[in-house]
A and B are shown apart, each in its own frame.
Chain A
């Protein structure tokens, strides 16, 4: 997957590693921390040439290479201080809670990374959790720190706090490799940038030397035209296409309980709902997908009350699109065609008649959809597990838009997608609303919502807050965080 890649980073420097999904960023970093053995190449750390045959996770640790993965590798039930000790090869047999806590606090102060070391990881916000991860890598003596898409789970404010923490680490003489596919972040934090495309380095240069537009072209290998905005929606008239009234639920936690939600989405409109994970997004999605029963309230589609079950909602013209593969209703182990017809097994007469499946019709429809949506490879009999995330997501989009639903609920619809695929999904959302569909967009990506939505709302601790038109990112971030994820 990597082809003759060279990379260097100096002490006290932040190197940003940019690239599409599948460009080879993660593979390269896995080589650095010893998880993947390269076929050929040379590694030098601090002037010492390292035998790659001896290179492995332990050697990486011994040579002070620390990695903070995208998904938290901390034990949720243990405190931060305990996590710092957990798996430390230098740790002895005994554990002194107070001494460990003092050591963790000292470390936290030394690098200016504010973490409540005595609290359990499961009680921390995503931002705190990430700082704890960084602290753990530093606690092992990491001099080269690799951060894999660290802002994916953070609010704008938490992200800028992370950037200043990274700057402080550099001042303390550490080297940082910062993986991202967001151009704005690279400009905010990095000194130099290396861009990968299809396993090769296509550019390596100082950040101040290039413009954002050029970065995009280097990453994609082509120009990405700005998203074409459609005309503003026609003035509202009549019944809202989707109306929530007094929706309340139980929740995974106290903060994520929905508290009497009321919301209207009109035809031709995209309503954006931003929020941090754990503030009720998941619960709202589940209610609108029909898999969670609310404790109070109702959902109306085109003025008519709908039973909150997947089949009834679908029949009423509400489609649900999710960036999470399982919520999206994609079944790994089934073919593209079978996934395409999955939601129709009760009432879709095109594919199911008299209890039998019409395989040929399913194949034809899938092939047509694959062509229209550019799914690669367009083989309807292929197991969907063999597709890349972007292509699997395209199939989900194709399926949900297939019936031209009156209401589309899209939840983090571009999670894990590269820039090209994300752009495709965005265009489809805009097209649906231009064709008179009502779109409710729930997303943790503020940029996405700002780019698409006609109207913005924030979901904070299970309640909706209006966001004024033209509010800037900092103000929105403060609103999201204000009522606190902590």
Chain B
């Protein structure tokens, strides 16, 4: 048991290589966690970060391996990133449009769109996007100009992610849009009477949230794997929900939260390698962390002081 914990620790924070592994796992969790936190703030239950991430990765791959293969790096890297954001935004937008036009619950539609995105990726890598050799179900490797610049094994996406965290913080707490978003998330009916349309906020939020998740997908293919294959994400978009909840939907708190889950992911691999403990054990740990986080937040809500009664008595 102690062997396993030791492996988990040394594999996540015990060495420079371990830190690199942790930060690499953290980057997509940071961006998708942010995507989920943003959506949940607006009362939009986006369970589709996984699908939006895959859609983003798919679009990024199309741009990098089919459309702009010969473009120079200064053009191709931003194009890949934009394509990723576009793919995610498209998938988020479908769910948002369905809700605005037909009242379809985004919980249902985003979950179903996860399957659609997964199947589209599988279809693409066995068909139009399959590698030239046609041996394995995966895409061609990205041209060198499409790969994200990196320091050691940590790519530049981490810096972008941190910048996005700050931007999201400003968006939520300092802008009129963030103000409306929070109002809708807290009291959709009151917001409607105040002239804020919950449907329109939901659509915008899902597009934004999807764009973020899609960007994370583009960063994964262009920064880590260098090609598209079926097991690309392995549940990042679901872990993102845990990241967002543990951060209590505060953009800035997504940083430590993503780091924790990133370390768990990186450590899990090491634990499996060195102590022979199956990686699913860390999933159990992750689950426990989420339950704890949710339990604590509910407990705090209960414990909130009931000032209204006290002041009513006094007044």
Contacts and interface: CB of A to CB of B under 8 A. Distances in A.
Same complex for A and B? Answer yes
A357 B176 contact: yes
Contacts of B179: 338, 345, 352, 357
A290 interface: yes
A331 B191 CA distance: 7
B116 interface: no
B307 A329 contact: no
Contacts of B191: 329, 331, 342
Contacts of A376: 311, 314-315
A289 B193 contact: yes
Given A291-B192, A355-B176, A331 B313 contact: no
A312 to B, nearest CB: 9
B313 A24 contact: yes
Interface string A377-418: 100000001111111000000000000000000000000000
Interface in A11-47: 21-24
B309 interface: yes
Interface stretch (A320-328, A429-437, A449-457): A320-328
B182 interface: yes
Interface string A296-329: 0000000000000111001000001010011111
Interface string B298-315: 000000011111011111
**A22, A309, A389 — which one has the most chain B CB atoms within 10 A of its CB?**
A22
Interface in B68-109: none
Given A22-B312, A198-B313, A355-B176, A326 B195 contact: no
B153 interface: no
Interface in A332-389: 332-334, 338, 342-343, 345-346, 352, 355-357, 376-377, 385-389
A330 interface: yes
A22 to B, nearest CB: 3
A199 B177 CA distance: 45
B175 interface: yes
Contact of A1 (B176, B193, B195, B313): B313
B186 A332 contact: yes
A284 to B, nearest CB: 14
B66 interface: no
B189 A346 contact: no
Interface of B, secondary structure class, is helix
Contacts of A377: 311
Given A22-B312, A328-B193, A376-B311, A333 B186 contact: yes
Nearest to B175: A355
A24 B187 CA distance: 29
B308 A331 contact: no
B190 interface: yes
Contacts of A331: 183, 186-187, 190-191, 194
A310 B313 contact: no
B305 A386 contact: yes
Nearest to B182: A334
A418 B176 CA distance: 35
A320 B313 CA distance: 29
Interface string B158-187: 000000000000000011110110110011
A376 B183 CA distance: 23
Nearest to B177: A355
B293 interface: no
Chain A: interface size category: 35 or more
Nearest to B188: A326
* Chain A interface SS verdict (over half): loop
A328 B183 CA distance: 13
A195 to B, nearest CB: 16
A314 B193 CA distance: 11
Contacts of B309: 1, 22, 388
Contact of B193 (A327, A338, A388, A391): A327
A329 B180 CA distance: 12
Contact of A334 (B183, B193, B312): B183
Contact of B313 (A199, A290, A356): A199
Contacts of A390: 312, 315
B196 interface: yes
B194 A342 contact: yes
A326 B193 contact: yes
A290 B193 CA distance: 7
A306 B180 CA distance: 24
A324 to B, nearest CB: 9
B250 to A, nearest CB: 14
A391 B313 CA distance: 12
Contacts of A322: 193
B177 to A, nearest CB: 7
B150 to A, nearest CB: 35
A356 B174 CA distance: 6
A311 B191 CA distance: 12
A476 B242 CA distance: 59
Interface string B194-225: 11100000000000000000000000000000
Contacts of B194: 310, 329, 331, 342-343, 345
A311 to B, nearest CB: 4
Contacts of A330: 187, 190
B195 A314 contact: yes
B195 A356 contact: no
Contacts of B177: 355
A387 B308 contact: yes
A391 B307 CA distance: 12
Which interface residue of A290, A327, A331, A389 has the most chain B CB atoms within 10 A? Answer: A331
Interface in B257-315: 305-309, 311-315
Nearest to B171: A355
Contact of B195 (A22, A311, A357): A311
B280 to A, nearest CB: 38
A282 B175 CA distance: 33
A24 B196 CA distance: 38
B193 A291 contact: yes
A309 B313 contact: no
Most B CB atoms within 10 A — which of A24, A320, A329, A391?
A: A329
B286 to A, nearest CB: 28
Nearest to A320: B193
B32 to A, nearest CB: 25
Contact of A22 (B175, B193, B305, B315): B315
A358 to B, nearest CB: 10
8 contacts: A291-B193, A320-B193, A331-B183, A342-B191, A345-B179, A345-B180, A357-B176, A387-B307
Given A23-B313, A391-B311, 7 more contacts: A22-B313, A333-B187, A345-B176, A345-B180, A346-B195, A386-B307, A388-B308
Give the 5 A-B CB pairs with smallest separation, nearest first: A22-B312, A310-B195, A388-B312, A329-B194, A386-B307
